[in-house]
Chain A
Amino acid sequence: MASATWDYWSEIGKGFIDAVLLLVTFDPETWSIIRQSVLISTSGTLAALVVGVPMGAWIALSSFRGRGLLLTTFNTGFGLPPVVVGLLMSILLLRHGPLGWLNLRFTPAAMMIAQFILSVPIVINLTAVAIQQLNPKLWMQMRGLGASQYQMLWLIGREIRLPLIGAYMAGFGAVISEVGASQMVGGNLPGSTRVLTTAIVMETGMGHYDRAMAYGIVLLMLVAAVVGLLTWFQQQDAPP
């Protein structure tokens, strides 16, 4: 029993050392996976910002019938299971499916779209809340100062940049660590749609704990680095 425990921990320890070696020796496969993960998740979240910020602003600033329902729908998106998004996208992107003609199945683009769908409700909601918390008279003051429509949007963006950074952090954190949608729409193809999360699942299944751990460590470091950087930006601007 004691020997089995020793073997277990020595195997884990070896795996950890191998993981570090894979990273520091710039193992091409490992770095290809890291690159694809960063690329796909960053693009998906940036697209969510581009669409989600104006949409959140629109919801916050307009009053129309069904506005509450729309906001509730987007809030529901917070708990959207990635596998359900993956399933729906897979069905839509099947060769004979409604979007099959796009030939996007098992491509990085399909993964970006899935990650966009997962992160956009978060961005919309956090933007809407940030704008609703501004003093409504601020708009009047900006008009009174002679701001054009575009200048007003810019100034408002500047006012809510802390919550916007928070929205990006939340969106990025949600998509880089999800596996269900990426696996289903990406297919885990090496050099193309294999990302850290799908690679961890695969390597663990194959008993390659060293690689799985290396990818796990990188994933944690990546999330910590991005969130740390954004937090630093946020704190530069926060009131003391």
Chain B
Amino acid sequence: MAMLHAENISVRRGGRLTLAPCSLSIEAGERLAVYGPNGAGKSTLLQAAADLLPIATGSIVFRGMALGTELAQLDYHRRTAAVFQEPLLLRGTVRHNVELGLKLRGVGAEERGRRATRWMERLRITHLADRPASLLSGGEAQRTSLARALVLEPEMLFLDEPFSALDAPTRRRLLSELAEILDERRIATLFVTHDLDEAAELCDRCLVLDAGHSLQQDDMTTVIERPLSRRVAEIVGAANVFDGVVAPGNGSKVAIEWSGHRIQSSLAGRAGAKVTFMLREERLRLGTPSADNINQLRGRVQQVRRRGAKSLVAVRVGNPHSVLVWCESGEQPDLNQEVAILFSPEAVWIFPQQPP
């Protein structure tokens, strides 16, 4: 039985549909990322699933109990917890804020104090216990907000971009601490983010949302490597997306004619059909052309961009097409150098959902 199952939930605001009917399911201990660009409706989906926003259609079932009929809203709120982008701390000290949810649940002062102390220690804010919440830095306030949610030992946690307002080092540190806590406690989590690395670090599965519509819901690897459509590929940051035509292939491998090249894929397709396909950047490499390589695209290096320890190389393989390839910074080619992009048929992904 799923911990949380939302079926066709939609949200209307001011007569406008801000979230089209969307379904999601989260098992006990599982973590689902809701990923998409700004304005996709990610926070709306989270708030609707957390019953913090009225839904126009659909139903929410928590541990097999339908919300509103078999499970009262207040009970649902008291078995779950939410953390938002803004820490939204109330007037009072850090300890007061951490204990607040327990106080609302009628937990006695002694147990409240014990649990709050434990979670303040865990989130390394014990030294701030008596400090007014209004005097905290962004990172401290978000740690307090996380402690306030985790102290409740919720069965389900809703995280709405909790790290997006923090600087990069604080964000990385908090993310890894939170991942550790969630691994240890096995708390089912719905995590809204517009950072794919955060989603991949924290979550098992991903729901891709765009303009209020759910586009794909799969495990993280599938979403990144086998997006259902061109739009999903764009949202997850795939760069090498092109249009080609299926040519008759060899056995199980289908060839795609594209920009004067013939690309072998491992996927099936109807000869003559127009297809949109993707070359997975992480499976491409620069090398020497040889007869052993099934796929090789020759071209000239157009641009080299440094990205941390690696470089992203743009290779012009035909007018007007360029293919992006990652390479180690020490092995980057020179501008205008003639190179070959080598890849296996498995590096080619033809989108199951093709444009009409």
Contact = CB atoms under 8 A, between A and B. Distances in A.
Contact of B135 (A151, A158, A239): A239
A145 interface: yes
Given A140-B52, A155-B90, A239-B132, A146 B105 contact: yes
A27 interface: no
Contacts of A137: 84, 86, 88
B86 A158 contact: no
Nearest to B52: A140
B182 to A, nearest CB: 18
Contacts of A62: none
Contacts of B88: 135, 137-138, 141
Interface residues of A, number: 18
Contacts of B348: none
A240 B84 CA distance: 26
B157 to A, nearest CB: 10
A146 B134 contact: no
Contacts of B47: 140
Contacts of B52: 140, 143-144
A189 to B, nearest CB: 46
A146 B135 contact: no
A141 B84 contact: yes
Interface residues of B, number: 25
Given A137-B86, A144-B50, A159-B91, A151 B104 contact: yes
A147 interface: yes
A135 B86 CA distance: 10
Contacts of B100: 145
B35 interface: no
Interface string B94-111: 000000110011000000
Interface stretch (B73-81, B215-223, B254-262): B73-81
Contacts of A237: 91
B163 interface: no
Contact of B158 (A144, A146, A159): A144
Given A144-B50, A144-B158, A147-B104, A239 B134 contact: yes
B86 A146 contact: no
B316 interface: no
Interface string B116-138: 00000000000000001011000
Contact of A146 (B77, B84, B90, B132): B77
Nearest to B47: A140
A143 B80 CA distance: 11
B214 to A, nearest CB: 22
Contact of A145 (B86, B91, B104, B132): B104
B91 A146 contact: no
A5 interface: no
B288 to A, nearest CB: 57
B81 A145 contact: yes
A106 to B, nearest CB: 45
Contact of B90 (A143, A144, A159): A159
A148 interface: yes
B152 interface: yes
A148 B100 CA distance: 13
B145 to A, nearest CB: 9
Interface string A140-174: 11011111100100010011000000000000000
Given A140-B53, A145-B77, A146-B105, 13 more contacts: A137-B84, A138-B90, A141-B84, A141-B88, A143-B77, A145-B81, A145-B101, A145-B104, A146-B74, A147-B104, A155-B90, A158-B90, A158-B91
Interface of B: 47, 50, 52-53, 74, 77-78, 80-82, 84, 86, 88, 90-91, 100-101, 104-105, 132, 134-135, 148, 152, 158
Q: What 10 A-B pairs come out closest when comparing CB atoms?
A: A144-B82, A146-B78, A141-B88, A145-B101, A239-B134, A146-B77, A140-B52, A147-B104, A146-B104, A151-B104
